[in-house]
Amino acid sequence: MNVVPMNPAPAPQGFLNGFSIEIMPRTAVKIPDFKAILPQGTRVYIAHIAGTPIEDMLATAQRLSADGFEVMPHFPARIIADKATLENWVQRYADIGVSSALLLAGGVDKPEGDYADSMQLLDSGVFDHYGFKRLHVAGHPEGNKDIGGEAEVMAALKWKSDFQSRTDAKMAIATQFVFEAPPVVEWCARMQAADVHIPVHIGVAGPAKLQTLIKFSMACGVGPSLRVLTRRAKDLTKLLRPFTPEALLADLATNRPAAIESVHFFPLGGIRATTDYISAQSDSADRLRA
C-alpha cells in the first residue's frame, strides 16, 4: 500500500531530519533494498516480538548494518530468561557491529524469566561490558498501566535520567505513538518538573487504514489521543481514506517542547507506505523553500 496525501502539506522545516523507523524481521524480508527507500544512516529499530527467534533478529540486524544503517534492536526484559541469555544476545549483536539498543519491559504481562523492566537491564552492566554506547528506553506520554500511575511512571523515568547522568550512555526516550500534540506537550512539561532530562523521540504512526490504526491503538494502550481516530471514524466520507499524520507533525513542530529531539515512525500501514509518505513530505517542503 503506497499511501501519500492527495495534497501533502510540507513537513515543518527540519522536523523530520534524523527520523527513525521501526520494523520487524517478518516485514523486513518484504523489502528488497532498504537503501532505495531510507536515507543513509537512518536509525532502524528492530522490534523483538515474543516468539521471534533471536536468529531472525540477528539476520535482520546484520543485513541493515551492512547496508549502512544504525541498527537498534529491541531487548524486551520480560522475554529474556536470565543473565546468560542476555549476555548471549548482546554479545552476538556486538559481534556484528551493533552498539545501540532499545530496552523496554516488553509486550507480555508477566516476566518469563529474571527481568521485569528496562531498569534491571540497564543495571545489569551487560550492555556497557560489550561496548553498547546508545541505550534508548520506551516512553508513554499517555500513561502506562504496566508500570502504574503517574508517580510510578515518573519515578522510573527519573531513575533512567539519573542513570544517564552517572554513566556515559547516550540515551533517548522512544515513545508510543500518539495522534495529537497536547498530551505530548503536557507530558514533556511534567518530565521537566520531575527533573527528567532525556531527549524524546516522539512516536508517530505512519499512513494506514483507520481500522488498522484503531486496532493497533487498542492493543498498544494508546490513551486519550485515540479520540482523533474515533472522531474520524464517525465521518463516513473519511472512513475509507487512509489516515496520515501531517496535522500531528505540524502541531508538534509549532508547539515543540525542548525535549523533543526527533520523530520515530511506526509503519503500521506498511514500511513502503511510511517511507513514501516521509519522502513526499520532505519533497514538498524542499519545493516550497526553493
Q: Which residue has the higher pLDDT, 25 or 179?
A: 25
Domain that holds residue 46: 20-289
For residue 281, what pLDDT is reported?
86
45-51 average pLDDT score: 96
Is 13 a member of any domain? Answer: no
For residue 82, what pLDDT is reported?
97
According to DSSP, the β-strands at 260-266 and 200-205 are parallel
For residue 10, what pLDDT is reported?
53
207-218 average pLDDT score: 80
Sorting pLDDT into bands at 50, 70 and 90, what band is 3?
very low
Is 118 a member of any domain? Answer: yes
Residues 262-272: pLDDT tens digits? 999 999 999 99
- Percent residues over pLDDT 90 in the chain: 71
Cα distance between residue 197 and residue 191, in whole Å: 7
Kindly report the three-state secondary structure assignment for every residue of 254-280.
HCCCCCEEEEEEECCCCHHHHHHHHHH
For residue 43, what pLDDT is reported?
98
Q: What is the CATH number of the domain that holds 173?
A: 3.20.20.220
C-alpha cell at 238: 473519511
Is 11 a member of any domain? Answer: no
**What burial class does residue 140 get, using C-beta atoms within 10 Å of its C-beta: 0-12 exposed, 13-18 middle, 19+ buried?**
buried
Is 9 a member of any domain? Answer: no
Query: Which of 4-13, 177-186, 224-233, 255-264 is least confident?
Result: 4-13
Q: What is the mean pLDDT of the chain?
A: 88
Pair 175, 202: CB distance under 8 Å: yes
Residues 98-145: pLDDT tens digits? 999 999 998 788 999 999 999 999 999 999 999 999 999 999 998 877
Q: Which residue has the higher pLDDT, 238 or 81?
A: 81
Number of domains in the chain: 1
224-245 average pLDDT score: 64
Sorting pLDDT into bands at 50, 70 and 90, what band is 7?
very low
For residue 11, what pLDDT is reported?
53
Query: Which of 60-64, 140-144, 176-180, 282-286 is least confident?
Result: 282-286
Residues 176-195: pLDDT tens digits? 989 899 999 999 999 999 99
Is 85 a member of any domain? Answer: yes
Cα distance between residue 224 and residue 183, in whole Å: 8
Is 135 a member of any domain? Answer: yes
Any idea of the CA torsion for 22, 27, 28, 29, to the nearest 10 degrees?
170
Residues 137-186: pLDDT tens digits? 999 998 877 777 889 999 999 999 999 999 989 999 999 989 899 999 99
Q: Which residue has the higher pLDDT, 80 or 215?
A: 80
Q: Is the pLDDT of residue 284 over 70?
A: no
Q: Which residue has the higher pLDDT, 219 or 109?
A: 109
Is 8 a member of any domain? Answer: no
Is 150 a member of any domain? Answer: yes
